[in-house]
Amino acid sequence: MTKAITVSGLHKSFGRTHALTGLDLDVDTGEVHGFLGPNGAGKSTTIRVLLGLLHADSGAAQVLGRDPWADAVEIHRRIAYVPGDVTLWRNLSGGEVIDLYGRLRGGLDTGRRAELIDRFELDPTKKGRTYSKGNRQKVALVAAFASDVDLLILDEPTSGLDPLMEEVFQRCVEEERDRGRTILLSSHILSEVEELCDRVSIIRSGRTVETGSLADLRHLTRTSVTAELAGEPNGLASLPGVHDLAIQRIQNSQGKRVRLQVDNNELDAVLRSLTTSGVRSLTSTPPTLEELFLRHYQDADADADTGEVAAR
Amino acid sequence: MTTFTGTGVLLRFSLRRDRVMIPVWVAVNTLMVLSIPNTLKSTYGTEAERTDLVHQVATNSSFRALIGPVFDDSLGALTAWRVGVYAGALGAVTALLVVVRHTRDEEESGRQELIASGAVGRRASLTAALLAAAVASAVLGLLVAAGLAGQGATGAVAFGLGLAAVGMLFATMAAIVAQLTESARLTRGLTAGVLGGAFVLRAAGDAASTDGSSVLTWLSPLGWLENLRPFAAERWWVLGLFATAVALQGTVAYVLAGRRDVGMSFLPTRPGPPTGSLGTAAALAWRLQRGSVLGWSIGFFLAGVIYGGLTDGAADLVGDNKQAREIFERMGGQSGITDAFLASMTGMLGLVAALYVVASVLRLHGEETSGRAEPLLANAVGRVRWASGHLTVAFAGSVLIMLLAGLGFAAGYGKEVGPILGACVVQVAGVWVIGGLTVLLYGLTPRLAPAAWGVAGAVLLIGWVGPALDIPQAVLDVSPFGHLPKLPGGEMEWGPVLVLLGVAVVLVGGGLAGLRRRDMTT
């Protein structure tokens, strides 16, 4: 499968701030790729490099097979970008901005434009300064979805949208995917990511920490296990992959209640150990998406050596 | 009194935000006023020369229109005459900018919502804004009064109070206009328009009468200031007129503010077209800047008409005084007094046009820092093409406004149409160098781009004050305008003009090359 975006070993510093410290990203043609990470992880910096607005210090990046810095204008004919914080010109109407962006990209589907304005319930006659945040966002979204392009780069595009509009947005992304377009979606809304994304890349402190399908990522993470045992647990604490172990005495009983987190590839050994103590009851919960992200976002120990990192 | 809760905190906050702006405006204004007595002393040193000047003003209506009537031949009275209207107007601009900055600007940006959600009374923001303007006006009045005390304490106090009063009059005027429109830019424009109207009324009234007693003069707050007659048997009751007007306008502003919602206005914004015809970055640049180009064009044409109309009278007046004549001849660089006056006035407009070119080029900077450039450049628009749109407006616009100034001169003066037009267009070479320097600053070090205002200000100062102070040629040579041939009247020298144009081209090229290479900032 061809790649819409390939990035490897990207570094970018602003003075003493290291925004990107060896970032990798691969987006296949025709997929919706989630681009996730805590605030300040470097998502917007990466997107600005991909748009040719910033010049990377080192590392390689290709967008639609070209160099985003040298061939910016050529690439931009085939992509549409929606920033997370849309600023409009105060005396231009929303409709004028949509048409301007469309023409500057090299074409706008007027039928699709009308349909999108209708679906997003946007009033295109209002002037830039009178739009609310959500409505400014809609102006940029209509301009992007109505453009005839191969790649959409969306940087937290739904901040400010209400749940109904969020729904419309998700349908639009699915339609774009069905038409064979590639979408890079930076987002903090996990339900949106779960619903839309074929694969995700999680970045932290300017580098990629995880990439793959959501199922892959779930597999890599931990399961929480709660068990009531007839006797004393046997050497659970010394098993590899066991975290947050808590053992309680159960009142009026010889037994013990055990709670723990275990890496999925060590689950088997833990169950073996539990059964030797006589399992009375057992619940095992796969990680929720929230837990998965919290773990990836918070796990700062792993890369404490990369130091202070901020984006923008 | 809970409607005023938080006023003190907001006032301190406003003054902190204005800690550069207010001192600079007030300092420039004060220095301008306080430099006058010395200049006058050197030009009109003797009693006889001053009496002569008073007589000239009384008989020369065009000079009264430009500056106002003179009421006494003391140095203090002449200072108030020479600079009063202009210091008042400058003080009014300071006050109106401060008020708009802390009222409509805050609402337009949405910051006011956050402020109003705090423990802040409904009237606190407007009150704090007016108080900030009052602080700026009061400091100006105090400094001027203290600085002129040597010319007579009573007159100095009257003059200081008059300047502060004009400031507050336009502060409260801005407070009313801010309730009417949703746009801070429009509020500033409309209030400044009222100020311009006040100047024109006073000019018309003073042209018609020798003692400021015309009805037209009394319709203008700037006319009130001269009718206060500082240093010439002060009419203190005129201050009562100011106080009444300020109280009245303030009340109207508070009543209007109390009757509307935050962010709304009495004149609603009209909806725009649902579809647009803008299709290129250049078209967008023109659309964004056409309003200001129109404003500058009208201003330059009118300035040309006014100065052109004054030329004969000014030449008569100045021609009688040796020192004044020398200053004009140094500025104009030649001996024929009419040509010298025309040359110094076209040079003056060239210097002001440098402000236009800086403002216009810095639109690029504004677009970039506001975040509007980023999504625009994510379209198939190269940076240089994007910048070229705005630069075309900046550089072609400066030719346009200088041509219009020349046409205005021709209309007002009625002679030497060709040479005057040529003299105006030659100024463009100097304007373009300043514009080129702005492009270079923006292209290489966007953070320092606003320093272009400092460059333009320094060039303005050298051009205005330099000839009067007889400062060394080395300093005058720093300004590109110092190298231009003195036209009309002088010899047209192509050499320096072509060199300056070459310098401008190199500067623009360097700036664009820098813009291509650097990171875009947000």
Asked if B263 and B121 count as a contact pair (C-beta separation under 8 A), the reply is no
Asked if A196 and A173 count as a contact pair (C-beta separation under 8 A), the reply is yes
Is the Cβ of A93 closer than 8 Å to some Cβ of chain B? Answer: yes
Q: Cβ contact (<8 Å) for A93 and B519?
A: no
Q: Measured on CA atoms in the order B314, B222, B198, B185, is the torsion positive or negative?
A: positive
Is the Cβ of A167 closer than 8 Å to some Cβ of chain B? Answer: no
The string of DSSP codes covering B56-104 is HHHH-HHHHHHH------SHHHHHHHHHHHHHHHHHHHHHHHHHHHHTH
Q: Which residue of B has its CA nearest to A122?
A: B274
Q: What is the pLDDT of residue B148?
A: 95
CB-CB: which of B182, B381, B518 is closest to A104?
B381
Judged on CB neighbours under 10 Å (0-12, 13-18, 19+), B322 is: exposed
Q: What is the pLDDT of residue A1?
A: 56
Is the Cβ of A126 closer than 8 Å to some Cβ of chain B? Answer: yes
The string of DSSP codes covering A116-146 is HHHHTT--TTSBGGG--HHHHHHHHHHHHHT
From the CA of A190, how many Å to the nearest CA of chain B? 25
Is the Cβ of B516 closer than 8 Å to some Cβ of chain A? Answer: no
Helical ranges in B333-382 per DSSP H: 337-369, 373-377
SS3 B192: helix
Q: Cβ contact (<8 Å) for B273 and A98?
A: no
Q: Cβ contact (<8 Å) for A48 and B372?
A: no
**B264: enclosing H helix or E strand:** none
Vertex B510 angle, CA B508 and B513, to 5°: 110
How many angstroms separate the CA atoms of B166 and B245, rounded?
10
From the CA of B219, how many Å to the nearest CA of chain A? 34
Q: Cβ contact (<8 Å) for B380 and A106?
A: yes
Is the Cβ of A101 closer than 8 Å to some Cβ of chain B? Answer: yes
In chain B, what residues touch A86 (CB-CB under 8 Å)? 375
In chain B, what residues touch A45 (CB-CB under 8 Å)? none
SS3 B488: coil
- Residue B351 gets the label, from left (phi > 0), alpha (psi -120 to 50) or beta, of alpha
How many angstroms separate the CA atoms of A240 and A234, rounded?
14
How many residues are present in chain B?
522
In chain B, what residues touch A48 (CB-CB under 8 Å)? 374, 520
Is the Cβ of B277 closer than 8 Å to some Cβ of chain A? Answer: yes
How many angstroms separate the CA atoms of B272 and A217, rounded?
48
Partnered with residue A82 across adjacent β-strands are A154
* Amino acid letter for position A19: A
In chain A, what residues touch B187 (CB-CB under 8 Å)? none
Q: Cβ contact (<8 Å) for A104 and B379?
A: yes
In chain A, what residues touch B275 (CB-CB under 8 Å)? 95-96, 99, 124
Asked if B204 and B65 count as a contact pair (C-beta separation under 8 A), the reply is yes
What does the pLDDT average to over A279-295? 81
Q: What is the pLDDT of residue B333?
A: 64
In chain B, what residues touch A93 (CB-CB under 8 Å)? 271-274, 276
Partnered with residue A214 across adjacent β-strands are none
From the CA of B367, how many Å to the nearest CA of chain A? 9
Is the Cβ of B19 closer than 8 Å to some Cβ of chain A? Answer: no
Supply A34's token pair. Answer: 């989630």
Band of the pLDDT at A311, cuts 50, 70, 90? very low
From the CA of A205, how many Å to the nearest CA of chain B? 20
Q: Cβ contact (<8 Å) for B379 and A76?
A: yes
**Greatest distance between any 2 Cα atoms in chain B:** 72
Q: What is the pLDDT of residue B66?
A: 78
What does the pLDDT average to over A173-180? 94
* Amino acid letter for position B355: L
Computed on alpha carbons and rounded to an integer, the radius of gyration of chain B in Å comes to: 24
A291 against B91, higher pLDDT = B91
A286: CB partners within 8 A, 6+ apart: A218, A223
In chain B, what residues touch A55 (CB-CB under 8 Å)? 517-519
Q: Measured on CA atoms in the order B174, B179, B184, B185, is the torsion positive or negative?
A: negative
Cβ pairs A/B, distance under 8 A: 116
Supply A101's token pair. Answer: 């962006």
In chain A, what residues touch B284 (CB-CB under 8 Å)? 100
Is the Cβ of B276 closer than 8 Å to some Cβ of chain A? Answer: yes
What pLDDT tens digit does each residue of chain B (522 aa) get? 688 888 999 999 999 999 988 998 899 899 889 988 888 888 888 888 888 888 888 887 777 887 889 999 899 999 999 899 989 999 999 999 999 999 998 888 778 888 888 888 889 999 999 999 999 999 999 999 999 999 999 999 999 999 999 999 999 999 999 999 888 888 988 898 899 889 888 988 888 888 888 888 999 999 999 999 999 999 999 999 999 999 999 999 999 998 887 777 777 778 889 988 898 999 999 999 998 899 899 989 988 888 888 787 777 766 667 777 777 777 666 667 788 888 888 988 999 999 999 999 999 999 999 889 999 999 999 999 999 999 999 999 999 999 999 999 988 888 888 999 999 999 999 999 999 999 999 999 999 998 898 898 888 878 876 666 667 778 888 899 988 988 888 888 899 999 999 999 999 999 999 999 999 987
From the CA of B15, how many Å to the nearest CA of chain A? 27
Is the Cβ of A86 closer than 8 Å to some Cβ of chain B? Answer: yes
Dump pLDDT digits (tens) for A25-54. Answer: 999 999 999 999 888 899 999 999 999 999
Asked if A138 and A159 count as a contact pair (C-beta separation under 8 A), the reply is no
In chain B, what residues touch A96 (CB-CB under 8 Å)? 272-273, 275-278
- Residue A308 gets the label, from left (phi > 0), alpha (psi -120 to 50) or beta, of beta
Is the Cβ of A137 closer than 8 Å to some Cβ of chain B? Answer: no
How many angstroms separate the CA atoms of B316 and B328, rounded?
13
Query: Which ipTM score applies to this complex?
Result: 0.80
Q: What is the pLDDT of residue B424?
A: 95
The string of DSSP codes covering chain A is --EEEEEEEEEEEETTEEEEEEEEEEEETT-EEEEE--TTSSHHHHHHHHTTSS--SEEEEEETTB-TTTTHHHHHTTEEEE-SS----TTSBHHHHHHHHHHHHT-B-HHHHHHHHHHTT--TTSBGGG--HHHHHHHHHHHHHTB--SEEEEESTTTT--HHHHHHHHHHHHHHHHTT-EEEEE-S-HHHHHHH-SEEEEEETTEEEEEE-HHHHHHHSEEEEEEEESS---SGGGSTTEEEEEEEEPTTSS-EEEEEEEEGGGHHHHHHHHHTT-EEEEEEEPPPHHHHHHHHHH--GGGGGG------
Q: What is the pLDDT of residue A155?
A: 94
Main-chain phi, psi angles of B368, to 5 degrees: -70, -50
How many angstroms separate the CA atoms of A162 and B36, rounded?
63
Q: What is the pTM of this model?
A: 0.81
Helical ranges in B414-450 per DSSP H: 417-444
Q: Cβ contact (<8 Å) for A76 and B378?
A: yes
Asked if B53 and B47 count as a contact pair (C-beta separation under 8 A), the reply is no
Is the Cβ of A89 closer than 8 Å to some Cβ of chain B? Answer: yes
Q: Which residue of B has its CA nearest to A126?
A: B271
B473: CB partners within 8 A, 6+ apart: none
From the CA of A105, how many Å to the nearest CA of chain B? 5
Q: Cβ contact (<8 Å) for A53 and B371?
A: no
Q: Cβ contact (<8 Å) for A81 and B281?
A: no
Give Cα separations from B70 to A161, B210, B227 (angstroms).
Answer: 65, 8, 10
Give Cα separations from A230 to A238, A247, B219, B417 (angstroms).
Answer: 20, 13, 100, 110
Is the Cβ of A19 closer than 8 Å to some Cβ of chain B? Answer: no
Supply B252's token pair. Answer: 């109207």
Band of the pLDDT at A80, cuts 50, 70, 90? very high
From the CA of A160, how many Å to the nearest CA of chain B? 15
In chain B, what residues touch A20 (CB-CB under 8 Å)? none
- Residue A235 gets the label, from left (phi > 0), alpha (psi -120 to 50) or beta, of left
How many angstroms separate the CA atoms of A310 and A14, rounded?
9
Q: What is the pLDDT of residue B261?
A: 79
Dump pLDDT digits (tens) for A219-229. Answer: 767 788 899 98
DSSP state of B273: -
In chain B, what residues touch A98 (CB-CB under 8 Å)? 276
Q: What is the pLDDT of residue A307?
A: 39
How many angstroms separate the CA atoms of A288 and A223, rounded?
9
Is the Cβ of B375 closer than 8 Å to some Cβ of chain A? Answer: yes
Asked if A223 and A286 count as a contact pair (C-beta separation under 8 A), the reply is yes
Domain boundaries, chain B: 1-266, 280-522
Q: Cβ contact (<8 Å) for A54 and B519?
A: yes
CB-CB: which of A55, A93, A104 is closest to B273?
A93
Q: What is the pLDDT of residue A309?
A: 40
Q: Cβ contact (<8 Å) for B182 and A105?
A: no
Around Cβ B143, how many Cβ atoms within 10 Å? 19
Is the Cβ of A251 closer than 8 Å to some Cβ of chain B? Answer: no
The string of DSSP codes covering B286-345 is HHHHHHHHHHHHHHHHHHHHHHHHHHHHHHHHHHT-HHHHHHHHHHHTSS-HHHHHHHHH
* Amino acid letter for position B237: W
Q: Which residue of A has its CA nearest to B285?
A: A89
Q: What is the pLDDT of residue B182?
A: 81
Q: Kindly list the strands in the beta sheet with A256-263, ordered across the sheet, starting from the edge strand earlier in the chain.
A: A242-249, A256-263, A222-229, A279-285
B142: CB partners within 8 A, 6+ apart: B160
